[in-house]
Chains A and B, each alone.
Chain A
Amino acid sequence: MLTAGRAQIALWLAWPSIALVGTVAIPFLLLLRISLAAPDPSGLWKSVLTLDAYGALLNREFAGALLYSLGVALLVATITVALGFPLTYLITRMKRRPQVVWLVFLLVSLSLSDVLNAFSWQLLLSKRGGLTGLLVLLGIMSRPESLTPSNGAVWASLVYGILPFTVMTLYPSLSQLAPEVVEAARTLGASPLRAFRTVVIPMTRQPILAAFVISTVVTLGAYVSPLVLGRPQSWTLAVLIGNAALAGHDVPRAAAMSVCLLGAVGLLGAATVWITRQRPAR
């Protein structure tokens, strides 16, 4: 019986194992390997073993870019969680039909391509994109001028792309939260805001942290928005990685930067686990 079960398992899992080990685990090992190779101007890399690619990152410029990217990611994650948490909460308390409409709306913007997202913001913030005209009409701007490239444009586009992810991460736990708990707090005289602050938020600490980490990681991987909407000095590490591989033809450098970014993500994850352990949810 046991062996029959084993045979069944092996049969079912054969294809997924081959595919996932082959196309996820192996590419990552290769990434590590190539970060230790040398660039090849006529090809992609030379199969030597060297730390040159990492050595070239030991400068103030790269450290600055890494810190800047982390800063942007943490900022965007803070904004998306601060907006996404109340938004998700309100959505889960809606009646079924408006709730479904909101979810479809969020799923559509979640799946909107990075390229189309950046392009849309570029249009919206352009001289003839409507928003500037509105600002002139309101007397906030004196004459229509393009609002890109700018940091604000990058942040808006990033928040736009990541907010739906935040909501989708928070949705299951907030939706499962028993309405009786909030009702009880209200019956005992708490205002809606107070009930939200003292009951809902403490009960969903873990999902909030999870949403925060996911939003940070997704922002760290964003390539198109900072590239299209930002100035070169506000390019994040993702842009530098992509450009090293594409324009610079320096794949080992791109791989080494990727490994550093992974290290930062790993530290972030470890810090989150540590924080959750320190103060377990009551």
Chain B
Amino acid sequence: MSGHSTYQPKTGIERWLDARLPIVRLGYDSFVDYPTPRNLNYWWTFGAILSLCLASQLITGIILVMHYNPSAQGAFASVEHIMRDVNYGWLIRYMHANGASMFFIAVYIHMLRGLYYGSYKAPREVLWLLGCVIYLLMMATAFMGYVLPWGQMSFHGAVVITNLFGALPLVGESITTWLWGGFAVDNPTLNRFFSLHYLLPFMIAGVVILHIWALHVVGQNNPTGVEPKSKADTVPFTPYATVKDAFALSVFLILFAWFVFFMPNALGHADNYIPANPLVTPSHIVPEWYFLPFYAILRAVPDKLMGVLAMFGAIACLFALPWLDTSKVRSMRYRPTAKIHFFIFVVACCVLGVCGAKLPDDQVIPGVTTFQLMASDLNSFVWLSRVAALYYFAFFLVILPVLGLTEKTLPVPDSIASPALSHPAAAPAEATAAPEMKG
């Protein structure tokens, strides 16, 4: 963050390097001395968890590529070669496959945390936008990665998703042909997806650097949404945030390990252990769980083009969020009505996820037939997803803009330290004591 660097090179080599490339100073200022709001809760540890997810995906991915054969003929067999013959290949592959799910669990929590505490509001709009770009790149990377094993769900998932672009007027057909590298999903498609699946993670890493840079310019938000005003409001990043992040990370790793070692295929589809066969379509094509809410929005709209636009619109809402929310108060801790709507929003997202996994005409309450509306029974998942999708859009486009102007908010504390320290007079003494504690 802004402020004078307090880095003191201790050895001759450090002084020599500091005069030529102050990289140690950069690291010190960013990850040791960097002032962190003292009231960050565990929701703030997901940034560090996400960094680990990215690193883990990159390392396991690079090892997988050493053994993978990116061709329609050899891809499936080479993945099985990794599972059966490569030393610890099963571990590397299961880490990579489940790592994608863990990455999305962490990113969704990270995004919801930002949403709840108003971390997208001025001056953090660019920070939020960069995060949205990372999320978009993650979705593209995950989708293309799922195609690479060239199983039945890989292949038919690729067919469904690439066909979505065909719904665009005039240019749709040209775009799908261009994406496929031919007139159907085939070897050229697999090859370009492989190439991009290798490229995009490094682009993610690049945007992550920008994301952290932007974070260090404006500083972290915190549960009160009040900017740090004095030294009493902050603690140095190391050891305070470092040790808390490390603890949260180790707990997250336990969850990760549980999936990798004891239920590695629970988040995947059985159909993807059948080699791709263009002539046999699986009875039920579903994307991975992290795409299900968007898939539900896509299917909620009866018209294909409008469905595609609604799906992309759902993501566009995230980009527009800093300008949709009109509230002056940052944290929903002090916005009682917004808080209720936030929790309904979370439920709506989960409901959309469940709807995305079901057949649209399946009954929500088994055995109850109501009446037909827009060619579907009202007691069907397609109607449930319509209701949830409507709330999803209303939350961004109606509730947040209007509520910000009308809501009666609770009093916001003067500073971070004032609710944390019962007696304001005690604050300076404790805060000056803090730096000596570290180490």
Are A and B bound to each other? no
